[in-house]
Amino acid sequence: MKQRSGQVLGEYSKLENIDLKDPSLILTVFSSSRAGALLAPHPDTGFNELQEYSIKKYFELGDQDPRSGIKKLNITEFYDDRGDDSTIWYRSILPDFTSIQSTDLPPGATIGFTYSGLAVDPSMFLPWMTQKLVDRGVKFVRGNVGSFQEMKNLSEASIVVNASGLGARELASDDTSISIRGQTMHVRKQDGFDRAVIRQGSQYTYVIPRASGGVILGGVSQPGNIAVDPDMALRADILKRVNIMTKGEFDWVDVDRDVSRDIVGFRPARKAGIRVEREGNIIHAYGAGGLGYVYSWGMANQVLGLVGNHYKAHI
């Protein structure tokens, strides 16, 4: 029987082995290291079953190994673009879901709620997950490819998973793929603040504690902005919004003194939403935008099913 083989084409694809013992390389090769990675489902992006699958998987992984960087915490969400929580489909799958009284909402917010959820620390999770894959025989290779055919020729794979993120615009000729710039800052954590808070609608503001220490303050959502360097003027704006949202929990922060680093990342989004489908011996899996962690395991599970269907069709 012919050996079945596959190749996952990631966002970074001259072929050379990655030194997996070098943590700095792990964090620069994988763009997910810049993510906020708060596992808060989204009410409006669709594919709810994929989000739900991922959340349940992360709960399992976090319980199995604290080294994964998956942290349980209370999450508070605010919205200012809807009048009630009828669109919040995930209220039934997350424990301790509680609505917030209107008198306790920050200025301009129309609804709010809390629940027990999860946040991922990419600096811990990515090396941990990488090692898990290596232990199972997965080989990581860096390279540059200009087409799926070139990838198949180089790898001799019978099937290729296109998880190329922003690279899908060229590789998959998908002009609906777009880049959404994000910017956050990492500050030392205030003692006693151990919850995540996020506001969405007319603004995109959040506070996410890190399991490895410190807290992420964000953020912005800037489609089409390709500026790689941090916009220092955003520091004060982000901090102001964070303090309004949290009722001054971070009014002690001096952005010139307390910011340990500024983080800029580009969310690989798609105007039509995520794409998970098979096209011959190419399986596409991209377009999650800022919800890569939230969709990840659900998309992977769907890809697994498509791979199985591909091989069944060729038996």
pLDDT-derived band at 8 (thresholds 50, 70, 90) equals low
Q: Please report whether residue 298 resides in a domain.
A: yes
Q: Reply yes or no on whether the pLDDT at 20 is more than 50.
A: no
pLDDT for residue 144 = 82
Q: Please report whether residue 1 resides in a domain.
A: no
Q: Please report whether residue 162 resides in a domain.
A: yes
Write out pLDDT tens, residues 152-177. 888 778 888 999 998 899 999 999 99
Q: Reply yes or no on whether the pLDDT at 2 is more than 90.
A: no
Mean pLDDT of 142-158: 83
Q: Give the closest residue to 90 by CA, choosing from 62, 48, 36.
A: 48
Q: Which domain holds residue 136?
A: 6-312
pLDDT-derived band at 209 (thresholds 50, 70, 90) equals very high
Domain tally, the chain: 1
Write out pLDDT tens, residues 127-137. 999 999 999 99
Q: Please report whether residue 110 resides in a domain.
A: yes
Write out pLDDT tens, residues 62-121. 999 999 999 999 999 999 999 999 999 999 999 999 999 999 999 999 999 999 999 999
Q: Token match 């205030």: residue?
A: 190
Q: Reply yes or no on whether the pLDDT at 24 is more than 80.
A: no
Q: Please report whether residue 255 resides in a domain.
A: yes
Q: What CATH number has the domain bearing residue 117?
A: 3.30.9.10
pLDDT-derived band at 312 (thresholds 50, 70, 90) equals low
Q: Please report whether residue 125 resides in a domain.
A: yes
Long-range contacts formed by 96-103: CB under 8 A, 24+ apart: 100/76
Q: Reply yes or no on whether the pLDDT at 3 is more than 70.
A: no
Mean pLDDT of 173-188: 93
User: At residue 270, what is the residue type?
Assistant: R
The contacts of residue 7 (CB under 8 Å, 6+ apart) are 151, 152, 155, 157, 159, 160, 161
Write out pLDDT tens, residues 246-286. 999 999 999 999 999 999 999 999 998 999 999 998 999 99
pLDDT for residue 308 = 85
Q: Token match 């709620």: residue?
A: 113
pLDDT-derived band at 40 (thresholds 50, 70, 90) equals very high
Q: Please report whether residue 247 resides in a domain.
A: yes
pLDDT for residue 156 = 77
